[in-house]
């Protein structure tokens, strides 16, 4: 098992890519912490893992709030005594053309997608430094690499995640902590469900593999980067997009 007895926090683990990541990590022997604001679905996801034999814990958290994140991390340490892997997967969209983008929608996306990654990483850092090891994987996006119409706020955060990941890889590598990012393309989740079918079909037509990504495609990328198989990979931005931007 590639993650046997490792303790992994998955933010945004109550659904979509995060929930699939929790399942995938659990199947590889990890103790999985589902950290999410959605208490109902988070508890449900953790229960399903437990019923399948995975040691799992749900902790409600607002990643945009530093104190909430600190409380979540303290709960994980009290329960398991260590944190080996952090998957900064939580994210939201508030799409609008630049002319119509409100200050509130700008700030909400910044608070969750960018500040949330900062809060979570900073909170786990003392524990990873103390043990001299850890793997932090941040979720960027194809939009953070190549931009997208109507997603100024989202693109800004996902580009920011890339910059933070590279900076942290340089800063934390000497302490035994690897930092990488995954940049998914368009994945078949509730977030994509909000896009009109005509646009989705147009995206699929441009993808050489002729399909959207599945959550398992991204979860497998996280798994590889979290495992010892990627022990010499640090500061990488792994694009998982089916070849859309070739």
Q: Catalytic one among 80, 154, 222, 232?
A: 154
Structural domain for 124, as ranges: 7-240
Count of domains forming the chain = 1
Provide CB contacts within 8 A for 218, sequence distance 6+.
17, 20, 21, 182, 184, 187, 240
* pLDDT reported for residue 196: 85
Where residue 102 sits, what CATH number does that domain have?
A: 3.40.50.720
pLDDT (0 to 100) of residue 51: 98
Give the 3-state secondary structure of residue 221: helix
Domain membership of residue 17 (yes or no) is yes
Q: Is 154 considered catalytic here?
A: yes
Which residue reads 């589902």 in tokens? 34
Residue 1 falls inside a structural domain: no
User: What's the pLDDT score for residue 151?
Assistant: 96
User: Residue 168: inside a domain, yes or no?
Assistant: yes
The tens place of each residue's pLDDT in the chain, 246 residues long, gives: 999 999 999 999 999 999 999 999 999 999 999 999 999 999 999 999 999 999 999 999 999 999 999 999 999 999 999 999 999 999 999 999 999 999 999 999 999 999 999 999 999 999 999 999 999 999 999 999 999 999 999 999 999 999 999 999 999 999 999 999 999 999 999 878 877 888 899 999 999 999 999 999 999 999 999 999 999 999 999 999 999 987
- Give the Cα separation of 18 and 88 in Å (integer): 9
Provide the 8-state DSSP code for 111. Answer: I
Plot region of 143 (φ>0 → left; ψ -120 to 50 → alpha; else → beta): alpha
Q: Mark 189-220 as b/e (b = at least 16 C-beta within 10 Å).
A: bebeeeeeeeeeeeeeeebeeeebbebebbbe
Q: Is 2 a domain residue? A: no
The pLDDT assigned to 47 comes to 98
197 occurs within a structural domain: yes
């Amino acid at each position: 098992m590639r993650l046997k007895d490792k303790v992994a926090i998955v933010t945004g683990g109550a659904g979509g890519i995060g929930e699939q990541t929790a399942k995938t990590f659990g199947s590889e022997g990890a103790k999985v912490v589902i950290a999410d604001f959605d208490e109902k679905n988070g508890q449900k996801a953790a229960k399903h893992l437990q019923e399948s034999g995975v040691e799992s814990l749900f902790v409600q958290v607002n990643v945009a709030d530093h104190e909430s994140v600190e409380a979540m991390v303290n709960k994980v340490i009290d329960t398991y005594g260590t944190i080996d892997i952090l998957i900064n997967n939580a994210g939201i969209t508030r799409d609008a053309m630049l002319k119509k983008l409100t200050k509130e929608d700008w700030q909400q996306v910044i608070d969750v997608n960018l500040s949330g990654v900062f809060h979570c990483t900073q909170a786990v850092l003392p524990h990873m430094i103390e043990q001299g090891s850890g793997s932090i994987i941040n979720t960027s996006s194809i939009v953070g690499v190549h931009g997208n119409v109507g997603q100024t706020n989202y693109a800004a955060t996902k580009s920011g995640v890339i910059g933070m990941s590279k900076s942290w890889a340089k800063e934390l590598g000497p302490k035994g902590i690897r930092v990488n990012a995954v940049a998914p393309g368009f994945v078949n989740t509730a977030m994509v469900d909000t896009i009109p079918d005509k646009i989705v079909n147009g995206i699929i037509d441009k993808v050489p593999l002729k399909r959207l990504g599945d959550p398992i495609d991204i979860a497998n990328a996280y798994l590889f980067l979290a495992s010892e198989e990627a022990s010499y990979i640090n500061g990488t931005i792994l694009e998982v997009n089916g070849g859309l931007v070739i």
